[in-house]
Amino acid sequence: MVSLTPDLLQAVTKPARYTGNEWNSSGKRHEDVSCTFAFSMPDVYEVGMSNLGLKILYEILNRRVDTAAERVYAPWVDMEAEMRARSLPLFSLETRTPVREFDFLGFSLQYEMIYTNVLNMLDLAGISLWASERGEDETFVVGGGPCVYNVEPVADFFDLFVIGEGEEVLGELVSLFVAWKKEGRPGGRKEFLRRAAGISGIYVPSLYVPCYDVEGNFCGMERLDEAAPAVVYKRVIRDMDEAETMEQPVVPYIDIVHDRIMLELFRGCSRGCRFCQAGMAYRPVRERSKERLRSLARKMADATGYDEMSLTSLSSADYSCLDGLVDDLMEDFAGEQVSFSLPSLRIDSFSIGLADRMQQVRKSGLTFAPEAGTQRMRDVINKGVTEENLMRAVSAAFEKGWKSVKLYFMLGLPTETDEDIIGIAKLAKKVVDRYQEIKGKRGAKVTISVSCFVPKAFTPFQWAPQDSLAEFERKQRLLKDNIRDRSIQFNYHDARVSRLEGVLARGDRRLSKVVFEAWKRGAKFDGWSDQFHEEYWLDAFEALGVVPEYYNGRERGQEERFPWEHTSPGVSRAFLWTERERSRRGELTPDCRRGRCTGCAVCPTLDVRVIDREAGK
Amino acid sequence: MSEGNKNAAQRSIVYCRARITKDEPLRYISHLDYASLMQRAIRRAKIPAAYSEGFNPHMKMSFASALSVGVTSDAEYMDLELSEMMAEDEIAECLRPALPNGVRLLGLRIMKGKPKALMALTDEAGYEILVPLRGAFPEAQAAIGAFNAAKECMYLRKTPKKTREIEVRQYICGEIQAEAAENDLLCIRMAIRITPGGSVKPQEILTLLCEKFGLPVRAETALIHRCGLFCGGKELLSAGEVKP
């Protein structure tokens, strides 16, 4: 057990990040179990603790009597300095066991800019960074989360990845491990990984070698073992009502980013926005029944004492029984002072009505995502929202008493023109003016938050080049110059970070060395603007002779082989190409959950189906 | 009938006071976070807490005296308003299993009418400090003796906003006691006055003892524990009740 002395804990900010012991946290004795699993999100406690996926997996694994699951997050820079100065290894929150003593260390990879933190945590833990150098007794390093749909840039640091939803497959992996351990670890580490590759949804990168042609272009994966499937398809929960899930989430003592109960209404979203990786990768839509949700809400409220509950999903307002569910929850929790929130609002007045009912008194501000400033551009990305939709939604909101509206947009979408960018400013101005028309006075606060588009794997834009840094910055200035109303606040992202994200999002395995070199130079917490140092990355690219524009700056050919296609969410390349072509013509593709199948191939490939409770599908 | 009592009768508010602890597992939790963990515990216990009206209803709960991060306590006092009557035993029975590891319920009373605010009642706090001794015990004794003998003693209090000098000897009731404890630890006991004009924190006194009186310890290695809070020398659980 790692000992944390008072002078150490007094020296760091928010020491409660490291002291654990939270309500509902586990704490099994390791000698009583056959498998120990440390879960991590490689970010600070407040961010890591807010991740829904890890909460679910933590609880499910801890229900097994043979397994102890614990948590570990990235120590903030002050704590890291203290730990290094005192030679303290990275430790788990529950039992303060050095992480290197666990059988598994599982990282949830939520975004590319956290990769260097994985390396930093492995280093702090005293675990070999390169999977190929890990000894027989070293911890198995596991990855999961959205980044697995192109995990090649960090593949060399992991023993295996879980592709897709983890609820079932993680238990299978643990059972396999326990059996292999009981047998006396036959064949050692290599044999365990070979066996793991036989579980559907497990990707073992060491069993694959990427091949490159004479020009250095990726041309396919060579499989080193027949245990390794040519394509590892994601695991998917068929029926969300039947699947094991979280009922007693850990309640932190300090304020975290999402400090509330997360009630997951459904998985997947088939609206088909062409820029959205989650929309393509988490298909099909599978709803929970209203009854199941009511019972989960009650259990979680009783088990935690939280007074806030968020109805989460990719697009919560699309839940087919939302109206009835909200009524039921308001009734179930009447007099208990529980507030409900809907994190993702659809742009229509139905959503406004709901939000109004849910936030009876507090008008905390509404957020919409039109994503683009002109109808042409929104059609290209298949957003399926018109200016009229937005104006009706904000009108309804202003009439109900809201004053502040936040609008999300992207810069740098394929085919974008200056007119599309100026359209963002015009749209924001129209929203401001609408307030004045309705209220007869000024007073609206409109925030436009504009990110830089990053083309992602397994989307119709996976072939597209990303804008250059200069182009992003020109577009940001252009937009800024076109905003003349003081009621509009303009926030934008650091384009340098987005460019780097663009490299990693569609990179290949050769980038593992770049990530390593950047970390060596000091890169960590790259997603935190105050910690990001572009020069570490630029130096790393230069030192290794890697040209970042090769990954983010070029239009890829229709036939080009991609280094991510062997870890697949099931959506077909043909569908994605068709969507790309339709996008060029500004043609919309409707949502398949109620209408016709649009042929993305996920359902037949994975043998799953859409579950829409109201339609009885 | 006092004004407070009349209101309470009209709204049928019940006032409940509890003495709870903040033990080792919660040492590094801030006062604000401690209050919210208690609110969650009360909600889990399904005790009928009263809430404020208005836009952002909050549980009607108040504490006697904020405790710093890094300090444990056997003497946290909390007043809670209930919207309906519940017997003392019953409240305790519901609350105990809902308390996290690191909070124990030491006493609980239903107050007669609306009590005076805990914050206003509290005038004295007792602390015990355990700190590794880096010199001989007589050296420590001499340092503390010198402090005790001083008529006044200035301390430079630095906060992120401002720095000012305060006289702290006035806030120490009687003398600071010191004794040698096991494992080369020094045990320091002090009673601190809490006045409307201000007070001093035990860590500030310890820092002062190190810096100005040569107490041979490192202040940042100390474990500080609050052992009591008082009103006119009486324990707070029954203090400040409105006489019927």
Domains in chain B, ordered, with CATH?
A: 3-121 (3.30.70.580), 124-229 (3.30.70.3190)
Q: Does residue A388 fall inside a structural domain?
A: yes
Q: Is residue A85 part of a domain?
A: yes
Distances (CA, A) of A330 to A193, A571, A609, B52: 49, 38, 31, 19
Domain boundary among A217, A233, A249: A233
Average pLDDT over residues A368-391: 95
φ/ψ (deg, to 5) at A161: -125, 150
Residue B3: its pLDDT value, please?
45
Residue A193 CA neighbour count, 13 Å, CB half: 24
The rounded mean pLDDT for chain A is 95
For residue A219, what is the domain's CATH number? 3.40.50.280
CB distance A6–B223 less than 8 Å?
yes
- Chain A: residue nearest B40 by CA? A305
Do residues A188 and A276 both lie within one domain?
no
Domain extent at residue A440: 261-510+546-606
Give the model confidence (pLDDT) of A405-447 as tens digits. 999 999 999 999 999 999 999 999 999 999 999 999 999 999 9
> A225 with A303, same domain?
no
Q: Any chain A CB within 8 A of the CB of B25?
A: yes
Judge: B33–A255 Cβ closer than 8 Å, yes or no.
yes
Q: B55, A362: Cβ pair inside 8 Å?
A: yes
Q: Are residues A21 and A105 in the same domain?
A: yes
pLDDT tens per residue across span B93-140:
999 999 999 999 999 999 988 899 999 999 999 999 999 999 999 999
A471: in domain? yes
Tokens of A409: 């947009």
Instruction: Give me the mean pLDDT over the A553-561 stretch.
Output: 97
Q: What is the pLDDT of residue B53?
A: 84
Alpha helices (H) along A359-487 = 375-380, 387-399, 418-439, 469-481
Are A168 and A524 in contact by the 8 Å Cβ rule? The answer is: no
pLDDT of residue A360: 59
- The secondary structure of residue B100, as a DSSP letter, is P
Residues A126-131, mean pLDDT to the nearest whole number: 98
Sign of the dihedral through C-alpha A509, A510, A513, A517: negative
Nearest to B40 among A9, A255, A305 (CB): A305
Of B29, B39, B101, the CB nearest to A16: B29
Same domain, residue pair A560 and A447: yes
Average pLDDT, chain B: 92
A45, A253, A402: best to mutate for the B interface, most B CBs within 10 A: A253
Q: How far is A267 from B147, CA to CA, in rounded Å? A: 66
What confidence tens digit (pLDDT) does each residue in A246-256 have? 999 999 999 99
Q: What is the mean pLDDT of residues A106-115?
A: 97
Please give the interface size between A and B, counted as residue pairs whose CB atoms are below 8 Å apart: 68
Q: Is B51 on the interface with A (CB under 8 A)?
A: yes
Q: How far apart are CA A602 and CA A270, in angstroms?
A: 11
Q: What is the pLDDT of residue B190?
A: 98
Let me know whether A155 and A36 are in one domain.
Answer: yes
A296 lies in a domain? yes
In a domain, A252, yes or no: no
Considering only CB atoms, which chain B residues are within 8 Å of A21?
25-26, 100-102
Contacts of A7 in chain B (CB under 8 A): 218, 220-221
Q: Is B6's pLDDT higher than 70?
A: no
- pLDDT value of residue B243: 58
Please check whether residues A447 and A557 belong to one and the same domain: yes
Residue A122 covered by a domain? yes
Residue A505 and residue A584 in one domain = yes
Does residue A162 sit within a domain?
Answer: yes
Indicate whether A314 and A197 sit together in one domain: no
Query: What ipTM, to 2 d.p.?
Result: 0.92
Give yes or no: residues A210 and A319 share one domain: no
Integer-rounded Cα radius of gyration of chain B: 20
- State which H helix or E strand residue B22 sits in: strand B14-22
How far A19 CA lies from chain B's nearest CA (Å)? 8
Whether B27 and chain A come into contact, CB under 8 Å, resolves to yes
Q: Is B97 near chain A, with CB under 8 Å?
A: no
On whether both A360 and A495 belong to a single domain, the answer is yes
A283 and A210 share one domain: no
Question: Is residue A521 in some structural domain?
Answer: no
Mark yes or no for CB contact B44/A11 under 8 Å.
Answer: no
Sort out which chain B residues have CB atoms less than 8 A from A307's CB and list them.
39, 43
How many domains does chain A divide into? 2
User: So what's the pLDDT on residue A352?
Assistant: 79
The residue out of A233, A251, A279 marking a domain boundary is A233
* Rounded average pLDDT over A34-56: 97
Q: For the CA atoms of chain A, what is the radius of gyration?
A: 24
Are A277 and A157 in the same domain?
A: no
In chain B, residues with a C-beta closer than 8 Å to the C-beta of A251 are 37, 40
